[in-house]
Structure 1
Amino acid sequence: MILTRPLRGLFLGCVAGAAFGLAAVPPSGLSHLVQSVPVETGLGDPGLPYAKDEWVAMIRSARQSLDFGEFYVTNRPHSALEPVLAELEKAGARGVKIRFLLSAKMLGQDPASVARLKAIPGAEVRSFDLTGVSGGILHAKYFLVDGREAYFGSQNLDWRALEEIHELGVRTTDPRLVTPLKEIFGVDWRFAETHKVPDLPKPGIPSTARPDAELVASPPFLTPGDIRPSLGTLVELLGQARQRIRVQLLTYSPVAGQDRFWPVLDNALRAAAVRGVKVQLLVSDWVLGGRALPHLKSLTLIPNLEVRIASIPEASEGHIPFARTVHSKYLVVDDAVLWVGTSNWEEGYFLDSRNVEALFRDPVLATQGAAIFDRLWGSRFAFPLDPGKTYEKRKVD
C-alpha cells in the first residue's frame, strides 16, 4: 500500500545518529518470540509458542485494563480467533476496562466483529483516522495488559493471522518496550477523540548509548520525542551490518506515490551488499505482477544480494482471500540484532502511518529469528527471483 504524504517535511529520522556496536549482550529474559504459520505447511518452530495460545493466556491474566491498537478485526465461526474474542468478553464481564483503537479505513471489513467488541461490558472502541492528516492508517498490531505486559508484531486481529499466514510477534514485560508503547497508545487514543495532531515533546539530545531492547515507531509527527522514529533507526541499523542481513516481508517497494522513486531503504541494502555484507531478502509472492517487481529484479544483479519469493500453496479447503502468505516483518543483522515490527518496507508505512517496531540487541533472540528465516528460505515454499522471467500475478482476494 503506497500512501500519500503531504507531511514530508516532518521526517525526524535518526540517520545521522551515533553508531552503535553489535557486541553480544546477555538476553534480558523479559521478551520472547511468538509465531503463527499456515496450516499444512510444517513451517512452525517447535521451540516457539503460537499467538493463538499466547493471546488467550495474556487476556485471561488481565485484572485491570486491556488496550488494543489494531488495523482491523475479522473472525469466522470456529476459528482460532474465537477463543480470543470469548476471553475478551470474559474479561469485560469481570470488570476489566477494555479500550480498542481500530483503523477507520478498515471498519467495514467485518462489521459483526466490530459490533461484538463494542458489546463487551465496559469496552470502548474508537476509530483512528489519518485521512485528513497524512492519508495514512493505523497499521500497528499490539495490545497491553494491565500496563505491565505487551504483545506486538505482524499478526492482525484476524483469524487468518492465527491459522493461515506466516507471522512473527513478541510478548514482553520489558519496561523499555511496554512503557513507550503505553505512551503511544495514549497519544493515539487522544488523537482518535480529538482528530487533532498533538503538540508532542521534541527529541532531546541524541544519546550515543543504545539499549539492548528499544521500541521505535512511526509516523514521526505522531511519535513523542523520547521514542526514535523507525525509519532513521532502521537505516542506521542496516548501515552497521558487517556480515549478514536477513529480511522477511510481505512487500518491499522503492516506488512511492504514482511514479516517484523512494530509495532510502533500497540504497541501504545495496550499500550493505557493496561493502561485502551478505544480504538475503525474502518477500511474499504478492509482489509478483506489482510495480516493485522490476526493482526487486534489479537487486538480484548485485553481488552478495539475493532475493527469494515465498509462495504458500492454497489450503486443502480451497482459496482463502488475503491468506496463505508470508506476512512477517522482521530483520536479523549479523546474528546479533533482531528487528520485529509491523511495517512493510515502503515509504508510507514509515512516514504516514502508525506502526511500531522493536529492536533487540540480543544474540539469543537474533538466533531464533535467523532460524525462522532460514527454515522458510530453504524450504519448498521459497524460490530465487529470476530477473529474466515473467511472472503471473498472484490471486490475493
Structure 2
Amino acid sequence: MAGPTPQEPLKTQQKCIAIFALVCCFAVLVALIFSSVDIWGDDEDGITEENCSKDCHIVLVENIPDDLSFSMDGRPHLPVFVGFHTLLDQAKHSVEVVSSAWDLNSWDLETIPSPAKQGQLLFQRLLRLKSRGVKLKIASSLTNSTELKALATHNAEVHYVNMTVFTRGGLHSSFWIVDRKHIYIGSADMDWRSLSKRKELGVVVYNCSCLALDLHRVFSFYWQLHERDYIPSIWSKRVTALYGKNNALQLQLNSTPATAYVSTSPELFCSKDRTRDVDAIYQVIQSAKTFIFISVTDYLPLVKRSFRGTSVTRYWSSIDEVIREAVVLRGVKVRLLISFWKKTHPLTFNFVTSLKSLFLIHTALIFFVFIRFFSHKEQNDDIQLGLNHNKYMVTDNAVYIGNHDWVGSDFAINAGVGLVVKMNGSSGDRGVTILEHVKATFERDWRSRYAQTTEGCLMLNWRDNGTAVYQTHIFLT
C-alpha cells in the first residue's frame, strides 16, 4: 500500500491555518459589532473628558396645572415647556431625546384654547430642526406612535428599546441632551399632559459638557439596543460611566462648588462604573444629617415578578430600610409626600402606617416621620389630569431627581435615570442653591391644601364588571 504523499500534510496544515484565520476574523467582527460605539470615534463633536466644561448653570423647571393654586414661595420657577424651548434655542448641532411617551398633539381635544397647545408647539419645533441643520435622535419604547413616524420623515433618527425582551419591563427614562453641552432630566416626558395638566419637576443644566457627555453615554447604551433582544456581555468603553457615587464630577453650579453624577436602572442596564439608581438614593439618604424630603407619585416597597406563569410578590427593602435607619439611628426628620389617585396601591397605606409608627412609638426620643398624600380632583376621562407626577428627594446637602416612582418593581425591571447633585461647603457659605429651590418647592406643596394627612380605613369595593375601585377616607389632622 502506498503511503501519504509529501503534499498531504502540507495541505492539512494550510486548511488548519485557513480555518483559524476565519475564526479570528469572525471574532473580530463580533467584537466590532458589540462595541460599535467605538466606530464613532472618541472625540465626536470635539468634546472629551479632558476639554469638557465644568462651569455650569442649573435651573429648576416645573409644570403646575392651571387648576392647582399655590401660595407664592418667592421663587418662581421656569415652566417645563419654556425649558424645552430654551434648549431648542441653544441647539446648533444635535438634539438627543429619550422618552417612553410620544403624545404631544392630541388633536381630538376641542377645548379652546386647547390644553395640548404647548405640546403641539413643541412638536412643530422638533419638526423644524431639520431646516436648521440640527440632527434629532430619539430613543423610545417600542411604540406605534404616529408622531415618531412624522419626525422620522423629517430626518429624525428613531431607535426603539424593547424592554419586554430584556426585563419584561418598560422604558421610563426621560431626558434630553443638546449639543453635548446642555441637558434636561426630570419627570416630564413627551406627552402634552406634562406641559399642561400634570404636575412635573425637573432640571435643565446649561453649558455642562462634562455631565452631558456622561449622560450621552447612557443615551448611546439605549441607542445600541435597537433591534436587539439581548444585552451583550462585552460593551464598548464608550458607554462606560465617567462619573459615579465614588468618583462624582467636581463642578461649579451657579458659581457654587458641587458634585454630580448620573445613575441608571435596572441593574442590567448599568454599564461599567455606572451607579444604580437605588445606590444613588441610598447614598443621598445616608449622607443626610437633618432632613429628608421625598415627593413621588407612588411609594410601594414591593417587587412583583412572573416566573413560569406564576406571579410572585416580595418585600423590597432597599429604600424602605435605609429610611428607617436614617430616622431611628441618626434622628433625621423625614417627610414623604405621595400622590393619592385611582392607581394608588392599597398596600401603600400599610407601608405608610408602618413608617409612621416610628414617630408614634418613639415620640419621646424625637424621631420624626411625617407622611402626607397629595390629592387633587381627577377628571373622569383622564386619571392623570392634575396628578402630582414628581419624582425627587432633597436633603440638607443633596438632591436626587429621577424618572422612577419609589416602587420596587420600577427599579428592578424598568429603565430610568437619575441625577444626584451634592453641594460642597456649609449652607451658610453657599447662599441660595438648587437645593434651596427644590426644598422651597417641596415645602410649598407640603403646606398646600392638596397635601392631606391620612388616618382611617381603606375600603375595597367592586363594580358590577369586577373592576376594583380603591377608596380611602381621609381625615385632616
TM superposition score normalised by structure 1: 0.84
Task: Give the Cα–Cα distance (whole angstroms) in 2 for the partners of residues 42 and 28 of structure 1.
Answer: 36
Larger helix percent: 2
- 1:91 paired with 2:123, answer no
User: Cα distance 1:88–1:168, how it changes in 2: closer, same or farther (>3 A)?
Assistant: same
Matched residue type, 2:336: L
For the residues of structure 1 that align with 2:119 and 2:164, how far apart are their CA atoms? 29
How many angstroms apart in 2 are the aligned matches of 1:204 and 1:262? 29
Q: How far did residue 228 of structure 1 move? A: 1.5
1:143 equivalent to 2:173? Answer no
Q: 1:248 maps to what in 2?
A: 295
* Equivalent residue, structure 2, for 1:60: 89
With the length of structure 2 as denominator, give the TM-score of the two structures.
Answer: 0.70
CA deviations on 1:88-146 (whole Å, 9 max, x unpaired) are 11112332211111112xx25xx333333333x21122221121221122111111112
One-letter identity of the residue aligned with 2:187? S
- CA offset at residue 206 of structure 1? 8.5
* Pair 1:255–1:114, CA change in 2 (3 A): same
In structure 2, C-alpha distance between the alignment counterparts of 1:205 and 1:151, rounded to whole Å: 17
- CA distance change for structure 1 residues 195 and 208 in 2, over 3 Å: closer, same or farther? closer
Does 2:272 match 1:225?
Answer: yes
Partners of 1:250 and 1:331 lie apart in 2 by: 12
Which residue is 2:195 aligned to? 162
Aligned residue identity for 1:292: T
Aligned partners of 2:302 and 2:313 also within 8 Å? yes
Question: Do 1:300 and 1:385's aligned partners in 2 also have CA atoms closer than 8 Å?
Answer: no
Question: Does the Cα contact within 8 Å between 2:181 and 2:209 map onto a contact in 1?
Answer: yes
Instruction: Select the structure with the greater relative contact order (CA < 8 A; seq sep ≥ 6).
Output: 1
**C-alpha separation in 2, matches of 1:150 and 1:350:** 22
Corresponding residue number in structure 2 for 1:20: none
Cα displacement (A) at 1:208: 5.1
Are the structure 2 counterparts of residues 175 and 226 from structure 1 closer, same or farther at C-alpha, using a change threshold of 3 Å? farther
Give the secondary structure class of the aligned counterpart of 2:167: coil
* Amino acid across the alignment from 2:106: R
Structure 2 vs 1, CA of residues 90 and 204 (structure 1 numbering), >3 Å: closer, same or farther? Answer: closer
Contact 2:265 / 2:416 at 8 angstroms: preserved in 1? Answer: yes
Question: 1 CA distance for matches of 2:313 and 2:400?
Answer: 29
- Picking from 336, 345, 370, the partner of 2:439 is 370
Q: Structure 1 pair 192/394, CA: closer, same or farther in 2 (3 Å)? A: farther
In 1, Cα distance between equivalents of 2:200 and 2:471: 19
After superposition, residues 249-328 of structure 1 pair within 5 angstroms as: 249-257=296-304, 258-275=312-329, 276-286=331-341, 288-303=344-359, 304-314=368-378, 319-328=381-390
Partner residue in 2 for 1:33? 60
- 1:235 alignment partner, one of 282, 290, 302: 282
Tell me which residue corresponds to 1:15: none
More off after superposition, 201-210 vs 189-198: 201-210
Q: Which deviates the most, 370-379 or 268-277?
A: 268-277
1:102 paired to 2:140: yes
Give, in whole Å, the separation in 1 of the partners of 2:345 and 2:135.
45
Return closer, same or farther for 1:207/1:348 CA change in 2, 3 Å cut-off. closer
- Identify the residue that residue 353 of structure 1 maps to in structure 2: 414
The alpha-carbon distance between structure 1 residues 40 and 159, as it changes in their structure 2 partners (threshold 3 A), is: same
Say if 1:351 and 1:103 are closer, same or farther in 2 by CA, change over 3 A.
same
Task: Say which SS state the counterpart of residue 302 (structure 1) adopts.
Answer: helix
SS in 1 for 2:300: coil
- Aligned mates of 1:249, 1:176 — CA distance in 2: 28
Hey, what's the Cα distance between the residues in 2 that align with 1:55 and 1:326?
20
2:106 paired with 1:76? yes
CA distance in 2, matches of 1:302, 1:93: 59
For 2:245 and 2:335, the matched residues in 1 are separated by 31
Instruction: Tell me if structure 1 keeps the 8 A contact 2:217–2:241.
Output: no
* Greater gyration radius: 2
- Give 1:149 shift: 1.1
CA distance in 2, matches of 1:150, 1:29: 11
Distance apart, 1:152 and its partner CA: 1.3
| Inter-partner Cα distance in structure 2 for 1:204 and 1:171 | 20
Q: Which residue of 2 aligns with 1:5?
A: none
**Residue in 2 that maps onto 1:24:** none
How far apart are residue 69 of structure 1 and its match?
A: 0.8
Q: CA deviation at 1:250?
A: 0.6
Report the CA distance between 1:29 and its aligned residue: 4.5
- Count how many residue pairs are aligned between Structure 1 and Structure 2: 360
Which blocks of at least 5 consecutive residues in structure 1 are unaligned? 1-26
Q: Percent identity?
A: 23
Q: Distance in 2 between matches of 1:206 and 1:372?
A: 27
Relative to structure 1, the CA distance from residue 337 to residue 116 in structure 2 (aligned partners, 3 Å threshold; closer, same or farther) is: same
Query: Which deviates more, 55-64 or 325-334?
Result: 55-64
Q: Is the 8 A contact 1:297 1:385 kept in 2?
A: no
For residue 60 of structure 1, report the CA deviation from its aligned partner: 3.2
Contact 1:231–1:350 at 8 Å: present in 2 too? Answer: yes
Q: In the alignment, which residue of structure 2 is the partner of 1:128?
A: 161
Classify the secondary structure of the residue corresponding to 1:169.
strand
